[in-house]
Amino acid sequence: MSFTLFIGTFLISVHLKDFKNALFFPTKVRCFISDFAVIIAIMSMTLLDMYAGVNTPKLEVPREFKPTLNTRGWVISPFAGNHWLSIPAAALPAMLGTILIFMDQQITAVIVNRKENKLKVSFFSSFECRKLSCKRIRDAERNYYVLNEPKFLTLQITYLGLHYLFTCLIKF
């Protein structure tokens, strides 16, 4: 049953993502449905799982916030149980990870800031540039300078609100 729920969630989200090219509703409604395609798919298949009554594996959330092992506290000594050479040995992977993240940031900035995208400096951070496609950023830049209001801030606040809603629903 879990595999069926996975396939259903995937197919619904793919079809709803392509919904922005359909001719059924006005453009704003289609874009809204397309933006929230994954959330709609997850919610619909979760409701199907709840009402079908099939025993599928669920994540068990603990009632209290405490360390996983009762034998140790919140702060774990890096030398407890580890050889002292493990700390210098971790320096090379840590430096490589830092370089990788830095290069990813720079390559993304070069790709997004090409002249053909015609971007101007505005309210977008690098995280938002990665999250949105270049076309959406270009459209948002035009809307920002024409209407003088950020369009995607509402979408991000909505995602944040849904994140907290799902957290509360999982807890109870």
Residue 101 has pLDDT above 80, yes or no: yes
Q: Which residue has the higher pLDDT, 151 or 31?
A: 31
Reply yes or no on whether the pLDDT at 54 is more than 80: no
User: Model's pTM, two decimal places?
Assistant: 0.42
Q: Residue length, the chain?
A: 172
Q: What is the pLDDT of residue 132?
A: 52
CA atoms of 99 and 93, how far apart (whole Å): 10
Amino acid present at 135: K
Q: Are 16 and 37 in contact (CB under 8 A)?
A: yes
Weakest-pLDDT range from 2-16, 77-91, 110-124: 110-124
How high is the pLDDT of residue 96?
A: 92
> Quick one: pLDDT at residue 1?
76
Tell whether the model's pLDDT for residue 151 goes beyond 70: no
Determine the pLDDT at residue 162: 72
Contact 6, 34 (CB under 8 A): no
Q: What average pLDDT does this structure show over 81-108? A: 86
Nearest to 59 by CA among 41, 71, 46: 46
pLDDT higher at 130 or 117: 117
| pLDDT number for residue 134 | 57
**Are residues 126 and 105 in contact, defined by beta-carbon separation less than 8 angstroms?**
yes
Q: Which string of DSSP letters, residue by residue, matches 66-127?
A: --S-TTS-SS--TTSSS-TTHHHHTHHHHHHHHHHHHHHHHHHHHHHT-GGGT--S-S--HH
Burial class (CB within 10 angstroms; exposed 0-12, middle 13-18, buried 19+) of 16:
buried
| pLDDT at residue number 142 | 62
pLDDT for the residue numbered 11: 92
**b/e map 25-38, b = 16+ CB within 10 Å:** eeeeebebbbbbbe
